[in-house]
Each structure stands twice: as structure tokens, then as C-alpha cells.
Structure 1
Amino acid sequence: MSAEIILKANHISKNFGLTHALKDISIQIERGEIIGLIGENGSGKSTFSSIISGVYPATSGTLELKGQPYKPSDTMDAQRCGISMVAQEMGTLPGIGVADNIFLGREEKFTKYGIVNRKEMYQEAAKAMEVVGVAGINPADPISRYSLEERKLIEVVRALYSEPEIFIVDETTTALSQKGRDIIYKILRRLQEQDKSVLFISHDLEELMTVCSKLIILRDGVFIEELEQKDFEEERIKELMVGRKLTGDYYRSDYDGNFGEEVVLKAENVHIKQVLEGVSLELHKGEILGIGGLTDCGMHELGRVLFGIEKPVYGEAVLGNGEVIHSPKQAIKNKIGYVSKNRDQEALILSASIMDNMVLPSLSKISSAGLIFKGAEKKFTARQVDGLSIKCREITQDVKDLSGGNKQKVVFGKWLANESEIFILDCPTRGIDIGVKAFMYQLMYQLKKENKSIIMISEELPELIGMSDRIMILRKGRVQKIFERSPKLSESVIIKEMV
């Protein structure tokens, strides 16, 4: 006997101008399922979830919720009907408190005679966080006091407060540490036990295969296949996603681990209170130096110190010529590029165009007598868009409209265009699909062969092992061990040094 169908999508299509984001999609969601929605960037995953969560309407096709016609006017209407989503982009509002964010649009629940009962609101927020399993956050605090991960968990609390029957998780786990991910997994299992449904979007194939009871694969806005858990097989799923067998090397195939003797960048005895304790490193010409560890080991802060964003209590980042790095401006002038793990918050100006983002570090290169001409900007940007195969309608398109993988290509592109010699890459493949990941790894290896130097900070051991000449493991803010490149190096050996 099959389970009750809670949501049915019938021939859904969505166009954005001339772009066909979804083409004739028919999907059904049954009670008690955790369905993984998977596909390359631009496959239509977020578009589909946005339609059923009320972000925008379908161009054509119909939805049925529990057997009745369903056409949400907005996200609040969708929530009232029992569908909540945590989107990929940051969804908390700055400038207001934690509780205000949780009860956004529901303030009347605590309002009497036009006055909000703050005490009651804080108590209810604390209760809502406790139910979800989020600890250590004060409902009365301003939202700005908390990290990206904590703010994302506050969004989860807000989405679950209405006790939805369908909970949509769109790329949320990419912003979370393992501890945060475990909270999400626990929530998903509880919802499944309550006979509710989950639509789970992630680029982490291992995560999807572990968490989900079913996978739905989209490609170029088209439904490709639905797989039951018993049919999950990694290579088969990858092939369905990209429409072909992935051939050639995914990571590097060489194991020589060679690089030049010249040191191009150093960290000397870097201390950050309660984060880093006397960390030193040397990056050589033509080297890919991997830095790994648990999320709170200090590796992300180290990358920020090396680019001049974060100031250590003592110790310093030093170029090969002896110049101390004090600011990002100085780092950029010295041909250093930095890819932040928080792409949408720190690496891009989302409201600006592809062109405006691409030319930003290189304005001095394309200016003439102090003037910047549009023709020069367009030619400069088009070269990177073509070279990196960035999928877009036009170079004047807003970056916020691009898929995650294409956004990341824009971030890479601006540093390539600036002819950077040193790249500091913090989680460079986070939140991008398997095809773009392979492209990024090939690009990194090509940069190494061109004698460029790369620091790759990553929470993914396979890519550290697969791409690095040396891997430096941090533990509790200290250098624990450095591994040389070797075909014998395994995840289990590295994990022992991390924990």
C-alpha cells in the first residue's frame, strides 16, 4: 500500500525571460519521505522549491496539496498551508533581534493594543529553539552577534515554528559545521517519524545518499529520473546528473608533490585569541598547500590573516620579499587573490552585475588616463566569462541570479583576471555541483603547472588528499601535523590527527 501523496506537481514550467529554468516537471511527494533533489548548478532545483514555497509562481502547470488546488501567493501563504523553506541565501534580517527574526510576520501573536510583549516573545523564541535543538543563543540579542552558522540555524527555527507538513532545505548544510549538520539530520529524521515530508537539496552526494529515502534528479530544468534508496549508486547518480560518464581525472593523477624552493608567502607565529596559537607556515612557488582540521580549528581565520582581513594579536603574514601584509588592498596589489567560504556575504556584491564584480580588483588595469571605458570593461569580462564557461544571459546580469557554481566561477574569474600569483581558497568547492567541482580541480592543477601558488583550506578530506602537495592539519589552533603527498595517504590517517 503506497503512502498518501501530500504534494503533486503537474507539468510545471518556469521561464525567466528567454531562460527556461523548468520544463514540464511532474513530481509527487509522499508522506514520511526525505526526498533528495539533486542536479548540477542550473538544473532547476531551487526554482522548483521556490515555486512550491511561494517565492514566485510557475509560468505554467498546476500544484495540488493534499488533493486540493494549491497556488501560494507568497511564502507566508505557503507557510499557512503547511510548507516552509530554508533558502540557500542568508534569510535573517540584520538590525533586529533573534526573536524578531524568528517571528517575522507573526508579531501580532505577541501584540496587544499595539504594544509587543517582548518578554512573552523571548520566552516563546527560547522554547522554539529548544524544540529544534539549537542551544547557546539568547533570543533578546541582536542577530549580528551570531555567526553565519548560528543565523542559519535561527532560520531553521523560524521555518519549523509553523510545524510544516513539508520542510524544504535548500543548500542549508553547506553553511554548517558537522555539529550544525547533525542538528539538521536529527530534525529531518524526527519529521519523517512524524509522517511529515522533507525536500532536501544538497550538492554533497554522500550526505544525500545517507539521509534520503528517495532521490529525484533534474538536469537543465528537466526531470531525469527518480531513484529509490536501494538503487543509490554513486557513479550512476553522477552520470544521470551530468548526462554522460565522467571521464578523465577528477582530482590530480600525479603523486610527485613537487614544487619550487622559493617561498612566496609565510605565516610567522600567528596568534588570535582563543583561535590560533603560534601558527607558522611556508607556501612555495608552484605549491598547492592544503590546510584542514575540524571546523573550529582556526583554519578559516588563518586564511583571513594571510589576506590581511583579520589582524592577529601578534605574529604576521609576510610575502616572499619580506613585506608584511596589513590589508586586503596591499595583498591584492601584491597579486594575492582570496576566495572566501562565505561567498554571497564576502566574495561577491550580489546586487551588482557579473561585469562589475569581475573588474573590481583590476580597475587600474583597464583604466586609461584615470578613466574607465565600458567597452574595455566588457571585453575584459567577456574574456573571463568565455574562458570559465560561465552560464549567464549577459555580462550585465546581476550575480545574484546565477547558480552557485557560476557565482563561484565569477569569484575565481576576478582573481584570474587580475593575474594573481597566489590564491587563498577557503572551501572553494562548497555548494557547487560535481561537474563544476571537476572544472575547479582542473583549473587549480593548471595554475600549479603555471607556477602559481595555492593555499586550499577545506573541510573535505577527499579534496585535500586529491589536490594538495602538502596537507597541514590544525588542531585547537595549533599545527598538529604536516603530510606529504602520497598514494598511501588515507582519510583515517588524517582524521586521527584532527580529533
Structure 2
Amino acid sequence: MGEVRLKIEHLCKTFGITKAVADVSFSIKKGEVHALIGENGSGKSTLTNMLTGIYTIDSGKFILDGREVHPKNQVEANKEGISIIVQELGTLSGLTVAENIFLGHEDKFTKFGIKNTNLMNKMATELLKKYGFDRIKAGEIIDRYNFEDRKLIEIVKATYFEPKIVVIDETTTALSNEGRHELYKHMERIKKAGNTVIFISHDLPEILEKSDTVTVLRDGVYIDTVSSKDIDEEGLRKLMVGRELEGDYYRKQFGESVKDEVVLSVKNVSVPGLLEDVSFDLHKGEILGFGGLSESGMHEIGKAIFGASYDRSGEVITSDGTHINDIPTAIAHSIAYTSKDRDNESVVMNESIGDNICLPSLDKLKLKWKFLSDRAMNNFANEYAKKMSVKMVNIDQFVSDLSGGNKQKVVLARWIGKDSDIVVLDSPTRGIDIKVKQDIYNLMNGMIKSGKSIIMISEELMELIGMCDRIIIMKDGKISGEIDRSVEIGENTLISMMV
């Protein structure tokens, strides 16, 4: 390791009045995992999106192996030896697994204008087997696979042609522990082959363990590049935020009693192939956590409670006896839900920040004549966007223009504004920087103190241990264990229930 693979020189990108990347210059070496970190909106994804042809460059240059490159799209980037695994879904619905893997490279399987589907499927099957993903079938429509499996397919898509640079943008936050280990394995393979990984993550222990070098951006500006072995988490935090972080992440109190009052009862809930006979109660002022491995069923819990699982059986009943069987009933009875699949299920990407924040609260924003007030909507959206510190031009900016972390802030802002009594949070800190994580945990503390009840679904074990009054572990669609909040609980206690 030592020879320069990529030089970034005076790179700039502006969106409206926002300087997303401002005169950034640094180098990345061959055969290294080079981490790129910073708070949400610091410019990490903008920089790599320019490198991979998703965004155009305003000014500056990328020099790859001594030659300037400026791909205009991802296909051109692939031809230059650059690929990316994005934070959200990077596969296209309606296409097969094989068609997604070879998207933009169909010419390999086309002769005289006719595509050889059998050959494409055969090559995709060989790749999936090589990667250890045999259970994924090349000829099946990709929509049959869940979020996690589609990310695994993206790993194949982004790396099978041995690119010189692979950008991994917040991908680990979308994966279970098993999926992460698969990704780490391929990162190591890429590195050993003399190629380079640009690794974006908010998980500082992960950054220090898996990267060789770390570059820090703040508000679009280059701050520093350091060796991972020469710095610790606290040092990285200081570089990222420019100051000491105050207070603790998690709740300090242990042994507090939860109120007996039940606000939601889930009875014998099943979803074919996903959940089997799940029952539990949620108490007033409680944070009830759900954890488990991939395919455990924990993510389906949130959908089932919110009335979004259309083939669900069993009962979800509020304290006033209302049966929740659909989303409008859930919202009308003060239940909020944020999905792990943010872009497809939690926000409307091609609508404004303001419209997204106001959407669940339109009833309370109506005037007495039943008309919506533009002033009331603007004031409401601005209030909650500010409360969540959304980095934006203004509330008229489209959500699709935001970084992943700022999209998550919009998701949370809309439900905080709704002031729901029961809030189901599926992976609420996915793709969120350390400062905003702290803010979200403080927000959750405030909610339960005011009598709200929270269901928190998370693959982060320390998050569950640190925040929840009670943790339910899922395995194979069933409840495999339950444990109350205690200072003695460790990750191994939970893992023993998962496997």
C-alpha cells in the first residue's frame, strides 16, 4: 500500500445557495480501505456521487491512476473502473436479479439486437454462487426479495467486474450482522487484490476497525486525513463536529418501573412466512425494543402494528378497544410508524420537505372552513424541520435532494409534528451521525417522560440495551426471549436468544 490511486483536486459542488462540497482536495491510495466521515450534510455522499457519475462536477477534478476522469453516469463510471453501493436501494423493481446485476452491461449478452437471457442468468447464477448467495435466484423478479437480499445483490453488481474503486455509502446500516460480515469479507478481498474501497459510515467503531485511513469532511470542507491506527473514537468525534460532545448517548436510569397501563395489545399476530403467533403488550411511557437477526421477523412487527401488512391475521388493539387493521385507522388513533426502507416507505421523494412534514398532520392544519392554510403549513414545517436540524435550502427543497441522514430527520420531523401517542421506530438512527443520534435519543427520552410510548426496532444491540425498558428478541418469526432493562445486560445476553 502506498501508491496513489485517486487524487481529488479542488472539487466543488453547489445546490442552490448550499455549498455541498467546497474546494476539497486529498488523495486515496491503492490497496486500502479509505473511510470518509462527517456529520449529515458534510459532503461525503455528494463527493462520491460526483465520482460515480450520479452528480455532475461544478469544478475541480478526479485523477484516477494519473488520468483525469469525469463520468457522466454510473455506466461510464463502471467503464472507468469505479462502482458504488448506495445507502438506499440501488436495484430496479420489475427487473430480474440477473438484469439488475448486469444493468448497463447488457451488450455482453446481446447479439444482432437479441438478448441471450439464458446466458445472462447462467453467468449471474455463477456469480451468486461464488459470493455464497446461492439462495438468490438469478431469473426471479427482484421484488420477491427483501431489502437485505437486494443489498447483497448490489454487492455482486458493484464488485463482480473487479473495479479499481468501490464506494460503499452507508451500506452497513441497511444490513443485518450476517450481511455486514459478507460485506466486510468482500471489502477485504477488494483490498487484497490491490484495489480500493471508499467506505462511508457513521459507525465510528466500525470505521476504526475496518478502515486503514480516514478523511473527515465538515460542512462541505476538507478537515483532515488520519491513519485509523493513530486515532480513537473521541478524536474522530472532535474532527467531525469541531467540538466536544456533551452528555451521554443513552438513558442513565435503570430499575425504573413502567406503568401498568397498557396502550396497545398485540394478540396472536401472524404474517405468512414472516411472523407466527406473536403476542405482547405495550405500556404507557415505555420504550419496548425488538431485536433479532436477519429474517427474524422484527421488521415486520412495525408494519403489522401500523396496519401495513395486508395478509396479517390476529389482533392489534388500542386501549380504547379499537382494532388497527389499516393505516388510516392507525394514524387516526395516534399511531406513528417509520420504516427501515426510508426512501420507499417513509417519505415521498419527489415532494418538498414541507409537504412531507405536513402530510400526516393535514387534519389539524385545516382552518375551520376545512381549507388548508399555506401559512399554517409553512410555519408548521419550518418549526419541525428546525427542531430536527434538517440541513436544507428551505422547506420547498425536494426530499430527494437531501443526504440520507437529512431524509431521516424529515421522517422523524413529520411524526414529531403529528404528536402521536404511540410511535413505532424501525431503525431510527440508520444513516444518522453521532450528534443527531444523541438528539434522537434525547427526543425519545422526552417523549416517554410526557407519557408517549415507543416501539424501537433495531439491529444495533447497544442501542436496544441503552434505550429500552424491555427488549423482545425475535427468531424465525417468533418471540424467542424477553428481558427487562438492567445494568447487567450485555450484547452476549441478547445474541444467545437470537441464534
Residue 207 of structure 2 aligns to a residue whose secondary structure is helix
Question: Contact 1:7 / 1:29 at 8 angstroms: preserved in 2?
Answer: yes
Residue 372 of structure 1 aligns to a residue whose secondary structure is coil
What is the CA distance between 1:427 and its match in structure 2?
A: 1.1
What is the CA distance between 1:460 and its match in structure 2?
A: 0.9
What is the CA distance between 1:312 and its match in structure 2?
A: 6.0
- Counterpart CA distance in 2 for 1:127 and 1:295 is 24
Equivalent residue for 2:433? Answer: 433
What is the CA distance between 1:388 and its match in structure 2?
A: 2.2
What is the CA distance between 1:43 and its match in structure 2?
A: 0.9
Residue 58 of structure 1 aligns to a residue whose secondary structure is coil
Matched pairs, number: 498
1:475/1:89 CA distance change after superposition, 3 Å: closer
Question: Contact 1:217 / 1:223 at 8 angstroms: preserved in 2?
Answer: yes
- Counterpart CA distance in 1 for 2:91 and 2:493 is 39
- Counterpart CA distance in 1 for 2:412 and 2:101 is 35
Question: Contact 1:336 / 1:421 at 8 angstroms: preserved in 2?
Answer: yes
Q: After TM superposition, which residue ranges in structure 1, 4 or more long, deviate above 4 angstroms?
A: none
Equivalent residue for 1:4? Answer: 3
The one-letter code of the counterpart of 1:455 is I
Cα root mean square deviation, aligned: 1.7
TM-score by length of 2: 0.96
Q: Which structure 2 residues correspond to residues 354-433 of structure 1 after superposition, within 5 A?
A: 354-368=353-367, 369-433=369-433
1:347/1:31 CA distance change after superposition, 3 Å: same
Equivalent residue for 2:309? Answer: 310
CA offset digits 1:385-413 (Å, max 9, x no partner): 22222221111110111222221121112
- Counterpart CA distance in 2 for 1:388 and 1:69 is 40
- Counterpart CA distance in 2 for 1:134 and 1:175 is 17
- Counterpart CA distance in 2 for 1:295 and 1:143 is 18
Question: Contact 2:304 / 2:312 at 8 angstroms: preserved in 1?
Answer: no
The one-letter code of the counterpart of 1:140 is G
Question: Contact 2:263 / 2:319 at 8 angstroms: preserved in 1?
Answer: yes
Residue 371 of structure 1 aligns to a residue whose secondary structure is coil
Equivalent residue for 1:472? Answer: 472
- Counterpart CA distance in 2 for 1:111 and 1:230 is 48
- Counterpart CA distance in 2 for 1:418 and 1:56 is 34
- Counterpart CA distance in 1 for 2:182 and 2:361 is 42
1:287/1:34 CA distance change after superposition, 3 Å: same
What is the CA distance between 1:154 and its match in structure 2?
A: 2.1
Residue 316 of structure 1 aligns to a residue whose secondary structure is strand
| 1:229 is the counterpart of 2:228 | yes
Q: Which structure 2 residues correspond to residues 119-130 of structure 1 after superposition, within 5 A?
A: 119-130=118-129
What is the CA distance between 1:240 and its match in structure 2?
A: 1.4
CA offset digits 1:161-220 (Å, max 9, x no partner): 332111111112222222222221111111111111110111222222221111111111
What is the CA distance between 1:311 and its match in structure 2?
A: 4.6
CA offset digits 1:79-122 (Å, max 9, x no partner): 11111112223221222222222222222221122111111111
Worse-superposed segment, 90-99 or 43-52: 90-99
| 1:102 is the counterpart of 2:124 | no
Equivalent residue for 1:151? Answer: 150
The one-letter code of the counterpart of 1:466 is G
CA offset digits 1:369-394 (Å, max 9, x no partner): 23223222112211212222222111
Question: Contact 1:257 / 1:470 at 8 angstroms: preserved in 2?
Answer: no
- Counterpart CA distance in 1 for 2:378 and 2:126 is 53
| 1:482 is the counterpart of 2:487 | no
Question: Contact 2:37 / 2:200 at 8 angstroms: preserved in 1?
Answer: yes
Gaps of 5+ in 2: none
Q: Which structure 2 residues correspond to residues 261-340 of structure 1 after superposition, within 5 A?
A: 261-311=260-310, 314-340=313-339
The one-letter code of the counterpart of 1:472 is I
Worse-superposed segment, 363-372 or 333-342: 363-372
Equivalent residue for 2:459? Answer: 459
Worse-superposed segment, 441-450 or 465-474: 465-474
1:449/1:223 CA distance change after superposition, 3 Å: same
- Counterpart CA distance in 1 for 2:5 and 2:159 is 18
Q: Which structure 2 residues correspond to residues 178-193 of structure 1 after superposition, within 5 A?
A: 178-193=177-192
The one-letter code of the counterpart of 1:87 is V
The one-letter code of the counterpart of 1:454 is I
Q: Which structure 2 residues correspond to residues 214-225 of structure 1 after superposition, within 5 A?
A: 214-225=213-224
What is the CA distance between 1:313 and its match in structure 2?
A: 5.2
- Counterpart CA distance in 1 for 2:158 and 2:494 is 37
CA offset digits 1:424-463 (Å, max 9, x no partner): 1111111111111101000000001111111111111111
Question: Contact 2:45 / 2:403 at 8 angstroms: preserved in 1?
Answer: no
Question: Contact 2:87 / 2:404 at 8 angstroms: preserved in 1?
Answer: no
Gaps of 5+ in 1: none
